[in-house]
Copies of this chain bind each other. A is one copy, B any other.
């Protein structure tokens, strides 16, 4: 947007452009779209923003996002509380829930240890995870952080803290994606797939 545009439109465009994955051109398109929306719909959008930010907070137990004291998963009596899947973000929970196979509970770290980015263990929700483990009843902690340098390092760090408490710590299996083609697999994935090969 240039200086011939109305200032409130420029401000709105900049707001959209500050969101991840939205460039200036898309932001301008979205701002113009808002202009064409009904006033009531714009009001509903603004209200949804404020409402989500105000009422959604971290689950007392697993640090997932929720507008209740406990998130629906921690609050579900049918879930297996002895297995905790540790993930980086609430988004990762959605990915596991989509499989429909995992019946345990979760713990969200809200980040990965990264000295380069200035993220230290104390910046993550690791203490609440240790407290859960110390309270007992947990048999297995599955480290489900991404297979990146930071994800692996965070998994290793947390694993060292939990193992002495006598709880089994596992890591997601890495290998070929189902339906993937050998020739398109990168070297590290292929190496992992070879290393973790199973008896048929």
Residues of A within 8 A of B (CB): 1-9, 11-12, 14-15, 19-21, 26, 28-35, 37, 39, 42-56, 65-68, 71-73, 89-91, 93-94, 97-98
Contact = CB atoms under 8 A, between A and B. Distances in A.
Contacts of A9: 52, 56, 65, 67
Contacts of A54: 39
Nearest to A72: B4
Given A4-B73, A29-B21, A89-B32, A49 B45 contact: yes
B93 A4 contact: yes
A99 to B, nearest CB: 11
Is the contact region of chain A dominated by helix, strand, or loop, or is it mixed? helix
A42 B32 contact: no
B3 A72 contact: yes
A119 to B, nearest CB: 13
A44 B19 CA distance: 13
Contacts of A55: 6, 8
A47 B43 CA distance: 10
23 contacts: A2-B94, A2-B98, A4-B97, A5-B72, A5-B90, A6-B56, A8-B56, A9-B67, A11-B52, A12-B49, A12-B51, A12-B52, A21-B26, A21-B29, A21-B30, A31-B52, A32-B89, A32-B91, A34-B53, A35-B52, A46-B46, A46-B47, A46-B50
